[in-house]
Amino acid sequence: MLRTLASFLKSATAMSSPPPTSTVAKRVPIPKHGVDYRGKVVLAPMVRSGELPSRLLALKYGADLVWGPETIDRSIIGSTRKFNPTTSTIDYTRTSQSQLALPPEMRTESTLYSIHPALESKHLIFQLGTASPTLAVQAAQLIAADVAGIDVNAGCPKPFSTAGGMGAALLKTPDLLCAILEALVANISPVFHIGISVKIRLLHDPADTEALVRRLVRTGITALTVHCRTTPMRPRERAIRDQLRMIVAICHDAGVACVVNGDVADRAHALALMAEYGADGAMIATAAEKNPSVFRPVADGGVLPWRVVAAEYIRTAMRVGNKWGNTKYLLQQIVPGKERAYKDLMPCRCYAAAVEVLRGHAGDGDVGGNGDVVGEADVQLAAQTDALLGIPYGRASESKTEKKARIKDTRAEYKRVAAAYALSKGEGEGEGEGGEEVDVQEDGGEEQVARYGDDTQQQHHAKRPSVSKEAEAEAEAEDKKAGGEAKVNISPEQDSTSTNSTNSTSEHIDKKIKLPPLPASSDAATAAGMQSIAV
């Protein structure tokens, strides 16, 4: 009898109780060509350290996704998309205005962005610097077919970004930031089937952060990355995570993935932070700049010695024809400042010289116990790369005074040629003769144009004072056009295949923007000329 009564009461209680709440988390739909940010440990967008060889090496060591360096909307608009059969890369290039003063056969192009489609396009997120919904869409249109996602930078605190209303300045203009995201979601996601995301910083008042995040997750984005510092905070200041749980909860309520950034040391630390705060992913910056093998799981041996990483980095850089100045700068991030190899790298002016240095400092037992980190094949590859980039080995011993004199002479010759070219066209004195300096592009003319990196990634200024001033100068010589190059004026003399697309700078647009039809997402040259490289 008692058993029957107990059974009845249990049954009645079950009938009167509400059904159990579903434990399945809400998730926004992931576009078919996009990526799900959940469970991912990713490479942060870094100026210099986010270039192609760094991204490829991070992927090789286990990064789930990689961000390229922030690229300003105006700098990519008007660029030309080309397939490079030598490196199997897709390069976005542009001829600078001053180069147009030269005869066509003397002009050189700047490479704005390089992508290796076979190795990274399904894992690459393109970070966009913008303060205009119209320009954001026009820029994203040009590159969306080659990447797995578009990310809007709303966290860079540097004046060159905030002065233009971009980066962290967008945190103070939430209406504009939301308009940019909504425009990208409405015009890019349905056409290219990739997701839109945003990267922000904390606001000083948690209530303001909460209000902003609640608005952002309603724009249609698939992910939000939060750098756990406020705008005034410097990289040397410890990241603060007291608002992180609140941000994660808001994102999850909307079905948006939340990625944590700031002082993430390696994969194990990333996974621990994700577990502690409930974040969906974690982004590594400075630690990956110093040693990309931080993405390796502990089960696979974890972080590798610097000699192995430096050898793999320079090998990867040579295979994709990376700009020498950028390669040297990154080598001096990877090689510890206390090591003799670091000092020996300082005078190097070419790949061949750097390979000799690394080969001479190979440590016993670093690779299979034979110590041959850099081999004869790398010596040959270095010579080929220097030839490809037009870097004479003899320049390795060139002094600063000699280099300055050489550049001065070259610039004077360019001016003379520009003036003669203008006269031949009946235009009188050319721009070069009239006082405007003509670009003198080092190392074969493949000049890298700056893209305003997120301050999260510019930590080398505070963290690595040991980087030689010379290496810093060489890298900045490649990056120096940060402000001026963002304003692009394309000449009609440029190749007719240019993807030049914009004249509009309207401050307000409808959510659905009317834009011209796009070229095919992939061309026959890309399909026929694709050659995978081993990295």
Q: How far apart are CA 418 and CA 424, in angstroms?
A: 10
Give the per-residue pLDDT at 437. 52
Give the per-residue pLDDT at 477. 52
Give the per-residue pLDDT at 405. 86
- Phi, psi (degrees; rounded to nearest 5) at 402: -65, -40
Residue 422 banded pLDDT, cuts 50, 70, 90: confident
Q: How far apart are CA 221 and CA 223, in angstroms?
A: 6
Residue 388 scores a pLDDT above 50: yes
C-alpha dihedral, 153 to 157 to 159 to 162, nearest 10°: 50
Residue 4 scores a pLDDT above 90: no
Give the per-residue pLDDT at 362. 75
- Phi, psi (degrees; rounded to nearest 5) at 238: -65, 140
Residue identified by tokens 């029957």 is 4
Which helix (H) or strand (E) element contains residue 253?
helix 244-254
pTM: 0.77
Over residues 284-302, the mean pLDDT reads 96
**For the range 111-114, what are the long-range contacts, defined as Cβ-Cβ under 8 Å and sequence gap of 24 or more?**
111/323, 111/446, 111/447, 111/448, 111/449, 112/71, 112/75, 112/76, 112/79, 112/449, 112/451, 113/68, 113/71, 113/76, 113/79, 113/143, 113/451, 114/51, 114/52, 114/84, 114/87, 114/89, 114/90, 114/320
Q: How far apart are CA 453 and CA 153, in angstroms?
A: 9
- Domains within the chain, CATH numbers bracketed: 40-303 (3.20.20.70)
Q: pLDDT tens digit string along 209-240?
A: 999 999 999 999 999 999 999 999 988 899 99
Q: Dig out the tokens for 116 from the structure.
A: 């290796």
Q: What are the distances in angstroms from CA 186 to CA 248, 472, 512? A: 25, 41, 6
Residue 5 scores a pLDDT above 90: no
Residue 474 scores a pLDDT above 60: no
- Mean pLDDT of the chain, nearest integer: 79
Q: How far apart are CA 436 and CA 350, in angstroms?
A: 30
DSSP summary character for residue 43: E
Q: Report the range out of 262-271, 382-391, 440-449, 515-524 with the highest average pLDDT.
A: 262-271
Q: pLDDT tens digit string along 501-510?
A: 333 333 333 3
Residue 455 banded pLDDT, cuts 50, 70, 90: very low
Task: State yes or no: is 258 an active-site residue.
Answer: no
Angle at which helices 244-254 and 267-277 pack, to 10 degrees? 70
Give the per-residue pLDDT at 475. 54
Q: pLDDT tens digit string along 315-373?
A: 999 999 999 999 999 999 999 999 999 999 999 999 999 999 999 887 644 443 334 47
Burial of 161 (0-12, 13-18, 19+ CB in 10 A): buried
DSSP summary character for residue 245: H
The answer to whether 155 and 262 have CB atoms below 8 angstroms apart is: no
Over residues 203-207, the mean pLDDT reads 97
Give the per-residue pLDDT at 439. 52
* Residue with more model confidence, 130 or 533: 130
Over residues 23-42, the mean pLDDT reads 89
Q: How far apart are CA 160 and CA 519, in angstroms?
A: 32
The answer to whether 17 and 247 have CB atoms below 8 angstroms apart is: no
The CA-based angle 289-439-130, given to 5 degrees, is 55
Q: How far apart are CA 400 and CA 469, in angstroms?
A: 12
C-alpha dihedral, 322 to 323 to 324 to 326, nearest 10°: -100
Q: How far apart are CA 267 and CA 295, in angstroms?
A: 5
Over residues 455-478, the mean pLDDT reads 44
Closest CA to 247 of 232, 225, 263: 225
3-state helix, strand, coil in the chain (%, to 5): 45, 10, 45
Q: How far apart are CA 152 and CA 173, in angstroms?
A: 14
Residue 43 scores a pLDDT above 70: yes
Query: What are the residues whose beta carbons fall under 8 Å from the beta carbon of 497, sequence distance 6 or more?
Result: 80
The answer to whether 250 and 216 have CB atoms below 8 angstroms apart is: no
Q: pLDDT tens digit string along 185-198?
A: 999 999 999 999 99
- Which candidate in 156, 228, 251, 258 is catalytic? 156
The answer to whether 258 and 241 have CB atoms below 8 angstroms apart is: no
Q: What are the distances in angstroms from CA 336 to CA 23, 290, 332, 347, 494? A: 48, 9, 7, 16, 44
CA 2 to chain centre: 71
